[in-house]
DNA sequence: TAACAAAACTAACGCTTGTTAGTTAGAAAT
DNA sequence: ATTTCTAACTAACAAGCGTTAGTTTTGTTA
C-alpha cells in the first residue's frame, strides 16, 4: 500500500498549476496556497522551484527515451515501428498529461545539467524517429517525401496531443489510437 | 518610402525576445536593453507591456481570420480548401514566424477584451476548419475518420510550423508547400 | 535664434518574487 | 517522561518587476 509522499504531492500540484498558467507565472506562494500551507513550508520537502520543474520534466522525458529504445530494438517493419511510437505517445499522454505541458512549454527554463540532459534526450529521440522514417523510405514502405516533413508532421501532432486529450475528456483511447494511427500513417504509404 | 515607427520597432524587438524566452520571462528592461535605451523610455511610445503583447498577437490572429474567410468563400472542393488553408498557414508562418510564438504560447496572458477577442477568433477559425472537413466527409472526398482527429492532426502540425521554419532556415517554400500538402492530405483521401 | 515637440534620461514607487533563518506544534521512538 | 523527527509556522531578506513623475537632451520648425 504505497502512499504518496509530501514531495510527490507538491510536484503533482505544481504540475497542474504549470499546466494551467505556465512555470514563470506560477509562484511558490501559488503552489503553497493550493496545498493550504505557507510558501516557506515547501522548502522542508524540496530544494527550490527549479527542482520541481526538473523532476516533472525529466521523469517524462525518460519515459519517452525508454519507450523509443524499446520500439527501435523490435524486429518489425518501419511502418509498424511508427505505429508503436504513436501508441506510446498516446499512452504517455494519458498518464502524464499535465507534466507534458511543462515539458513542451517550459523546458527552456531548466538550468545547467538538467537543461543539457533534456536537450540531449530530445535530440536522441528525434534522431531515432528520423532513422525509422529514412529506413522506411529506403525499404519502399514509406513514400519518398522529404523525411523532415514527415518527421515534423507526425511529431508536432503527437507533442500537442496532451492539449487535445484534456479538452475532449476520455474519448475511448482505443478509438483514438486507431483513428490517429490511420490519419497519420495513411498519408505515408 | 515608409519607415518604421519607434513603436513598431519596439514590437519587433519584443517579438523576437518573446519568441526566445516567452512573455513572462522577458522584462521591460530586457526589451529596453535590446534597443539600447532605458525601460522608462519605452513608455513614450507604448502604454505598457500588455499592449505590446496584444498588438503582436491580434495582428496575426486577424490575418488568420481573414485568410480563413477567403478560403471558405471560394467555390472549390473541400480538399482544395484544405490545401489552401495549409498554404495560407505556411505563408503567414514565413511572414510572422516570431509573432507566432507569442500567439501559440502566451495568448493566455492577454487581458479582458483582448483575451476574449482572441479566443473568439480562434474558436471561429477552428469551427470553419471543422466544417470544411465535415463537408469533405459528406461529399465522400475525405475518408470518414473521426473529424476531430483529422482537424487536430492537421492543425497541430500547422500551428507548430513556426518552430520548424526557423530551425531549418529558408528551405524553399514551394518545396515545403508541396511536400506538406502531400503528407497531410494523402492521409485523408 | 527662439519655441516647440519628440524621445531620451534619472529616480523612485509599491509590489511580488524565490529563498533563508529561526521557531514551534505534534507525533513517534527511546 | 524525554528525546528526536517531521512538517508546519512567522518574519524577513535582497532582487527584480511594471510603471510613474519630473527633467534633460535632441532635432525640427517658425
Say if the Cβ atoms of A186 and B185 lie within 8 Å.
Answer: no
CA nearest B161: which of B95, B102, B83, B89?
A: B89
**Minimal Cβ distance to A145: which of B22, B152, B183:** B183
On chain C, which bases lie within 7 A of the protein's CB atoms?
6-12, 16-22
What tens digit of pLDDT does each residue of B141-182 get?
Answer: 998 888 988 999 999 999 999 998 877 766 677 778 888 888
Q: What is the pLDDT of residue B107?
A: 97
Per-residue pLDDT reduced to its tens digit, B91-137: 999 999 999 999 999 999 999 999 999 999 999 999 999 999 999 99
Could you tell me if A111 lies within 8 Å of chain B, comparing CB atoms? Answer: no
Q: Is residue A141 part of a domain?
A: yes
- The DSSP secondary structure of A146-184, one letter per residue, reads -HHHHHHHHHHHHHTHHHHHHHH----HHHHHHHHHHHH
- What is the pLDDT confidence band of residue B187, given thresholds at 50, 70 and 90? low
B183 touches chain A (CB under 8 A): yes
Q: Is A184 on the interface with B (CB under 8 A)?
A: yes
Residue B143's CATH number = 1.10.357.10
**B23: in domain:** no
User: Looking at residue A179, what is its pLDDT?
Assistant: 84
Domain presence at residue B105: yes
Residue with cell 516557506: A40
For chain A, which ranges sit under pLDDT 70? 1-3, 169-171, 187-189
In a domain, B161, yes or no: yes
Is A179 in Cβ contact with B183 (below 8 Å)? Answer: no
How far is the C-alpha of A113 from the C-alpha of A12, rounded, in Å? 23
Would the pLDDT of B186 be above 80?
no
Interchain CB contact of B43 with A (< 8 Å): no
Nearest to B187 among A25, A161, A187 (CB): A187
Residue A1 is predicted with a pLDDT of 40
Has residue A163 been placed in a domain? yes
- With respect to residue B15, please indicate whether it lies within any of the assigned structural domains: no
The larger pLDDT score, comparing residue B35 to residue B178, is at B35
B41 belongs to a structural domain: no
Domain that holds residue A154: 49-186
Residues B70-80 pLDDT 10s? 999 999 999 99
Q: Give a yes or no: residue B20 inside a domain.
A: no
Asked if A74 and A84 touch (Cβ cutoff 8 Å), the reply is yes
What average pLDDT does this structure show over B41-49?
A: 96
Residue A50: CB less than 7 A from any atom in strand C: yes
Count of structural domains, chain A? 1
Considering all nucleic acid strands, name the nucleotide whose C1' atom is nearest to the C-alpha of residue B9: C7
**Cβ–Cβ of B176/A149 closer than 8 Å?**
yes
CB < 7 Å to strand C — which of 26-45 in chain A? Answer: 26-30, 39-40, 43
As a whole number of angstroms, the distance between CA A18 and CA A106 comes to: 9
Q: Which residue has the higher pLDDT, A182 or B64?
A: B64
Mean pLDDT over B46-72 rounds to 98
Rounded Cα distance, B52 and B47, in Å: 8
Amino acid at each position: 500500500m504505497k502512499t504518496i509522499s509530501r514531495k510527490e504531492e507538491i510536484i503533482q500540484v505544481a504540475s497542474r498549476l504549470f499546466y494551467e498558467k505556465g512555470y514563470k507565472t506560477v509562484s511558490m506562494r501559488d503552489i503553497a496556497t493550493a496545498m493550504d500551507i505557507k510558501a516557506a513550508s515547501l522548502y522542508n520537502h524540496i530544494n527550490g522551484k527549479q527542482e520541481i520543474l526538473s523532476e516533472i520534466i525529466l521523469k517524462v522525458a525518460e519515459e519517452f527515451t525508454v519507450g523509443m529504445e524499446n520500439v527501435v530494438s523490435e524486429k518489425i517493419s518501419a511502418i509498424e515501428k511508427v505505429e508503436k511510437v504513436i501508441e506510446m505517445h498516446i499512452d504517455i499522454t494519458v498518464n502524464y498529461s499535465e507534466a507534458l505541458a511543462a515539458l513542451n512549454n517550459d523546458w527552456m527554463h531548466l538550468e545547467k545539467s538538467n537543461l543539457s540532459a533534456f536537450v540531449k534526450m530530445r535530440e536522441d529521440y528525434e534522431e531515432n524517429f528520423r532513422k525509422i522514417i529514412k529506413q522506411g523510405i529506403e525499404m519502399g514502405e514509406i513514400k519518398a517525401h522529404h523525411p523532415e516533413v514527415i518527421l515534423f508532421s507526425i511529431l508536432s501532432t503527437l507533442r500537442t496531443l496532451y492539449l487535445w486529450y484534456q479538452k475532449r475528456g476520455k474519448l475511448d483511447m482505443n478509438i483514438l489510437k486507431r483513428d490517429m494511427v490511420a490519419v497519420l500513417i495513411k498519408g505515408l504509404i
